[in-house]
Amino acid sequence: MMTGAIPSAMAVSTYPPRILFIRLSAVGDVINTLPALEALRRGLPDAFIGYVVEDRAHDLITRHPSVNRVHLYRRKRWARYIHQPLHWWTLFEEFSNFLHEIRREQYTVALDFQGNLKGALHGLLSGARRRVGFSRGHCKENNFFFNNEHVTP
């Protein structure tokens, strides 16, 4: 358990750090990340913290005082567009804007709480040089290959 000090895996070389949380889906799973989010805010009060989340948990994270920026991943909408050729341009445009929005923030660290390929790709595409995720055996879809720092829960 963290007692106020930031573990070495969280130490960053730029200050204030720009940290991206990645937990996309279920509201309950997003709620489970809140203690880590709040501990990080206490330990690094000047950090810029962003969060990538899907529609279902968007309102919860948007209202959270520890989060500076929320990036909405519109998975369901974009999945529908894949099967509708007339919407392919819209899909391309919206997804490109989403990626540009994340990269524009210049995150220095991405924390992947998702633990699957989807979460790993978000971390990779964010441009963050430090991508922290779960170690082998504690993640799915070979997620650990895409992260350059690993933690065991």
* Residue 10 confidence (pLDDT) above 80: no
Which pTM was predicted? 0.86
73: exposed, middle or buried (C-beta count within 10 Å: 0-12, 13-18, 19+)?
Answer: buried
* Residue 6 confidence (pLDDT) above 60: no
DSSP letter for 144, please: G
Predicted confidence at residue 11, as pLDDT, reads 55
Q: Which domains does the chain have, with CATH numbers?
A: 15-151 (3.40.50.2000)
First to last CA, the chain: 11
Percent of the chain with pLDDT over 70: 92
